[in-house]
Structure 1
């Protein structure tokens, strides 16, 4: 009877040791996979030329500036100056100091 208890305890210890080893291997594999994913994310982020979003911000500001300088529906660029057109009436727009507002295409230059 004593030998059966001994062998039972020994088998239980071996099974428990095996489970602990498998658990450690699984945790190690998960840690390696997480490290590999983190490294891939680092490589992807370091390859991004606009990491901080500075270029996107500058592009957004340029787009806002263009939208702000765009001529309205009642305005035209005639001879390089902005003119309000209302029917057959044309009125030149003046800016600071009474100077005409310059334009090119559909945008004010000032």
Structure 2
């Protein structure tokens, strides 16, 4: 395992080499910067796209819930109408008993 002093010396040597490389080839600076920016830009774009799709999915789920509730209301209304038109079994039995 490297000691902190050796790690520091290795990092210093590496930084010195990179600085010399950039002094010899200054065109590498924008290229290196672009290579570091591209993955960040892709990540940010993916994050915002995912967020927009998540919001759209929530909206669609809410629309589906609203449609389901409307269908339930229609069914309940229809059942209530039929219930009012047809006498209940209890009422029919009461009429039969009252006639005898």
**TM-score, normalised via structure 2 length:** 0.53
Deviation at 1:54, TM superposition (A): 2.1
Aligned match of 1:19 = 57
Which structure is higher in RCO with an 8 Å CA cutoff and minimum separation 6? 1
1:15, distance to aligned residue in structure 2 (A): 1.4
1:56 aligns with 2:93: yes
Distance 1:32 1:55 in 2: 33
Alignment-derived partner of residue 85 in structure 2: 47
Q: Please report how far the alpha carbon of residue 52 of structure 1 lies from its aligned counterpart in structure 2 after TM superposition.
A: 6.8
Q: How many residues end up aligned between the 2 structures?
A: 62
Unaligned residue ranges in structure 1 (runs of 5+): 66-110
The equivalent of 1:9 in structure 2 is: 47
Deviations 1:70-99 (A, max 9, x none): xxxxxxxxxxxxxxxxxxxxxxxxxxxxxx
Q: 1:99 maps to which residue?
A: none
What pairs with 1:1-110 in structure 2 (closer than 5 Å)?
1-48=39-86, 50-51=87-88, 53-59=90-96, 61=97, 65=100
Say which structure is richer in helix. 2
Unaligned runs of 5+ in 2: 1-38
